[in-house]
Chain A
Amino acid sequence: MSSPVVHAHHAPEGFIRRYVFSLDHKVIGIQYYFLGLFSVFIGMFLSLLMRYHMVNPTVSVAWMAKLWPTAAAGGVMTPELYLSLMTMHGTIMVFFVLTTVPQSGFGNYMLPIQIGAEDMAFPVLNMMSFWTTFLALVVMIAAFFVEGGAPLSGWTAYPPLSAAGRVTGPGEGMGQNLWILSIAIFCGASLMGAINFISTTVDLRCKGMTLMRMPLTCWTWLVTAILGLLGFAVLLAAGVLLLLDRLAGSSFFLPAGMMISDRILADHKGGSPLLWQHLFWFFGHPEVYIAILPGMGVTSQLLSTFSRKPIFGYKAMVYAILSIGFLGFLVWGHHMFMSGMNPYSAMAFATLTMCIGVPSAIKTFNWLGTLWGGKIHFTTAMLFALGFVSLFVTGGVSGIFLGQPALDLYFHDTYFVVGHFHMIMGVAAIFGMFAGTFYWFPKMYGRMMNETLGKIHFYLTFIGVYCIFTPMHYLGIAGNPRRYSAFTDVEYLGGLIPVHQFMTYAAYFTAAVQLIFVVNLFWSLMKGPKAPVNPWNATTLEWTVPSPPPFDNFAGVHPVVNHGPYEYSVPGAASDFIMQTDPPSAVPSEH
């Protein structure tokens, strides 16, 4: 065999081309990660303001009055300000954290390496998609600073509130326009990203990397990209129509004869707010899987690695990912049971919703099967992956309740829903990100994170989030509506305030605990012990290259893959893991 021609590529010189307008997928991945980290702290700050206000609705806070001289005149926030904080919290978290970090952040960094490619298929497009996302974030945050402030209509932007303009509330002027604009820009960025992810996965896999040898992370990034491609296209179209209703006076979503604040809106007639709900949730349900699928991939990868066992049912996992992706487009109606939909449609959507529980359950059982009898290493990364499984099950079970129209008519727009989606989409996905961070940090930065701090952070966060979000289910069952800024004016809610107080303290606690993570992250970046090439004795391609990897990932060598991604504890093999690039002879033949 002749030795391969080594033809390495080197990073461009100069700070700007190397770190700012970089074409390197690894730098772009890190940029996405830090964009998400910045966003998650803004989102968390907003949530703390909300939690404070809910339990202290009349207490005046001097610096609130400084921040919002009109909306919090006298230091007490108006209900409208509360709603705008809620809108921005949800939007920033869903789009700029949950959609951005697991897919664009980790996916960008790891996908090309895991499939043995030098870079994404279209590096310039990749760079553009990051900077477009950045622009979207800037426009979104700008909504805070325009006349009237941020919009009030939630991350789902339901019309008529979102479409009728300034008369409906302070943030519904310029703020809502910027919101729609930002989301439209974000859609464009996501489309660019999806094109790159799909072409890269389809066309740039190295020799021997068949589809069925791809790590499950790559499968989830692929399916997430497909969901994003189809979903964001529809959201973009819906956003255009919404913006026209606001700016051009059309009536796509606005019906006739609406009375808002004692005024009749005469200019519009014939539109349908429900049309928006259909378009939005056709995107919205796939979106929740966009948020969770990459976390599922990371969890699969980690459970296998740290149990020193092959993933249980690799093929079943792949087909489960594919069917979750497919079914995800057929269940949007379960968000609209309360919209007056035909009960037969509701039954169809409910049935399909139950169907999507099947692949979800397959994944969960396969995770448990992977753990079963494994030699489990409780690293911090593994703990977060286990936490992911726990949260996914907790959130999934409440989803089964919500999927029944008869129950959802009661639960809809209560805290039960808030509990459901924070468990599964909020915290489970975030645990996926923590797991990914602790697992890949050594590869990305060449240093190890501190395990002691990591474990303390894990346990406190795990307890904290359950304390915040479990009581929400109880509140929902007790009839506590969501999107209320205070509970003092409604008598039957008064008795629930102690529960809210408990949740608020839990939120303070959990937020404070995140400082441990920040300290760990930045301390390890600078002072962490040097990481070896393969600290976890893992099998996939990223663990064959130096930490951090060279500019073109494989230093000009083209890797050849001979094994599946999870060959742990193969009977008779020399070590308890076989790298994907090990020669075929690494697996002892049976005869």
Chain B
Amino acid sequence: MGMPGILTHDVLKGPPPPPAEGGWGGDGSPEGFGASRKASFTALFVLLAASTMVFAAFTSAFVVRRGMSDDWISTPKPPILFVNTLVLLASSAVLEIARRTLRSGERSRFNAWWSAGTLLGILFLVGQALAWRELKDAGVFVATNPSSSFFYVLTACHAFHLLGGITALVWVDVQALRLSLGPAKRTAIDVSAVFWHFLDGLWIYLMILFYVWG
């Protein structure tokens, strides 16, 4: 019918999968309600679209505000941001390794890797807090300058997203340590990992924005 595959796949695949697998509004939970794996991924991508729009809006405000003003003074970027960047990239890599080990069935190694990735994620947030403190000590606040306003807004909004991501990672971790990672929870693993990688990419984008125009 000329529609992109993602929109029609469930119809083309013929009969629905058994309830335990998802579909029909059931994910095998006791009540048979909840999200199928496919729906979870759809929801994830829809959520990413919304987050992208939020940052697109901030970016366009950034570009406009910078372009039309003569009061823009570049904010000094705390060097720790580079360390944070490495920590965040490392956390993504570690989570990927964790997913690989799970695929090859090594549960306990999965737990270790996943916990490590989660800790690195938390470490990134701590690093961001240090960066803010450094700015604050240098007398740079939200209202100091449009450049610093945007720096705080964008990093805070990113951190807010990260809090959501960390909640998901911790939840998976708790399930993993309690050895209760059933097939349905695999979806949670994949969804939170993809979300986390998105936050990675978003952070790289923000770094470029800050260093090139900020």
Contacts and interface: CB of A to CB of B under 8 A. Distances in A.
Interface of A: 7, 9, 23, 112, 117-123, 191, 194-196, 198-200, 202-212, 229-230, 232-234, 236-238, 240-241, 244, 248-252, 267, 269-272, 275, 278-279, 282, 558
Contacts of B60: 278-279
Chain A CB count within 10 A is highest, among B36, B64, B143, for: B143
A328 to B, nearest CB: 14
Interface residues of B, number: 53
Interface string B113-147: 00000000000000000000000000001110010
A145 B7 CA distance: 48
A208 B15 CA distance: 9
Contacts of B31: 9
Contact of A233 (B50, B64, B143): B50
B46 A118 contact: no
The 5 A-B pairs at the shortest CB distance, nearest first, are namely A233-B53, A249-B143, A237-B57, A118-B25, A270-B71
B28 interface: no
Given A195-B46, A249-B142, A278-B64, A210 B53 contact: no
Given A251-B71, A278-B60, 4 more contacts: A211-B7, A233-B57, A241-B153, A272-B68
Nearest to A197: B46
B26 A199 contact: no
Given A203-B38, A205-B10, A229 B50 contact: yes
B64 A229 contact: no
Given A249-B142, A269-B71, A210 B57 contact: no
A207 B23 CA distance: 11
Given A207-B15, A248-B143, A275 B61 contact: yes
B46 A250 contact: no
B47 A195 contact: yes
B107 interface: no
29 contacts: A7-B32, A9-B33, A118-B26, A120-B25, A121-B43, A194-B50, A199-B40, A202-B7, A202-B10, A204-B25, A204-B39, A205-B11, A211-B3, A233-B51, A233-B54, A237-B53, A238-B61, A240-B153, A241-B58, A241-B61, A244-B142, A250-B143, A251-B143, A251-B146, A251-B149, A270-B72, A270-B146, A271-B65, A279-B61
A500 B158 CA distance: 51
Nearest to A275: B64
B89 interface: no
Contact of A23 (B19, B33, B46, B56): B33
Contacts of A248: 141-143, 149
A240 B142 CA distance: 13
B35 interface: yes
B2 to A, nearest CB: 10
Nearest to B69: A270
A443 B1 CA distance: 33
Contacts of B24: 117-118, 204, 206, 558
B146 A252 contact: yes
B76 interface: no
A330 to B, nearest CB: 14
Contacts of B40: 199
A205 B13 CA distance: 12
B8 A210 contact: yes
Contacts of A196: 43
A199 B57 contact: no
B46 A198 contact: yes
B46 A229 contact: yes
Contacts of A237: 53-55, 57-58, 61
B157 interface: yes
B7 A229 contact: no
B146 A209 contact: no
B135 to A, nearest CB: 14
Nearest to A241: B61
A123 B32 CA distance: 11
A198 B45 CA distance: 10
B6 A240 contact: no
Contacts of A232: 50
B15 to A, nearest CB: 6
Nearest to A279: B57
Contact of A194 (B25, B26, B46): B46
Contact of B49 (A206, A211, A230, A236): A230
Contact of A199 (B43, B53, B143, B149): B43
B46 A121 contact: no
Given A122-B35, A272-B65, A191 B11 contact: no
Chain A CB count within 10 A is highest, among B3, B35, B55, B142, for: B35
Given A118-B26, A269-B71, A198 B42 contact: yes
A230 B53 contact: yes
Contacts of B26: 118
Contacts of B49: 229-230
A205 B7 CA distance: 11
B54 A121 contact: no
